[in-house]
Structure 1
């Protein structure tokens, strides 16, 4: 069994329920990206959630086709101030069994 060795500055007994407050710029970018996705005809009816951390947009959820996935990433990247995109959108539809 492998036991992790703590770093000297780690406090294993610290209260982890308090997360750092998001940056105001990240909140602004999150709102702008969500607004753009809700306006565009390709992405407006898709199940997309938007999160932003350090100016990196994280797209998650389910979309109906590959075009909607690409359009969502393009729309998010076109927002001024966005540094990068993490596109984790999945395609909906029947799952194929791997044999």
Structure 2
């Protein structure tokens, strides 16, 4: 599972090598929060399997993409809610257990 977020270059994964840039970047609050949620989800062993896109609008985290199991979908929503600064979560993740078998 690789949570993603938008930036000026399109959708970029976080924490995968030399492209991992945050320290010197000036981020607006929504970018910062979406990255924080994605980082938290990457560190949670219960959130694995699938591909999720994390965006934030007005403090509301929007989770889109797919999860491999209902448990992963629910864990992603719980992790997003547990992140400081999140006011609400819109969990739009679908569960697609056959996606990798196509």
Separation in structure 2 between the aligned mates of residue 76 and residue 28 of structure 1, nearest angstrom: 13
Greater strand share, 1 or 2? 2
Provide the residue aligned with 2:75 in structure 1: 71
Question: Scaled by the length of structure 2, what TM-score is found?
Answer: 0.65
The residue that corresponds to 1:28 in the other structure is 32
Find the counterpart in structure 2 of residue 48 from structure 1: 52
Shift of 1:46: 2.4
> Which blocks of at least 5 consecutive residues in structure 1 are unaligned?
1-22, 95-99
* 2:83 is equivalent to residue 83 of structure 1: no
The residue matched to 1:29 in structure 2 has which SS?
helix
Q: CA deviation at 1:42?
A: 2.0
Divergent runs of 4+, >3 A: none
How far has the Cα of 1:44 moved from its partner? 3.6
Q: TM-score, normalized by length of structure 1? A: 0.67
- Matched residue SS, 1:51: strand
C-alpha distance in 2 between matches for 1:90 and 1:45: 12
CA drift at 1:40: 1.0
Distance (Å, rounded) in 1 between the aligned partners of 2:37 and 2:48: 12
Q: Report the equivalent of 1:59.
A: 63
Distance 2:96 2:55 in 1: 21
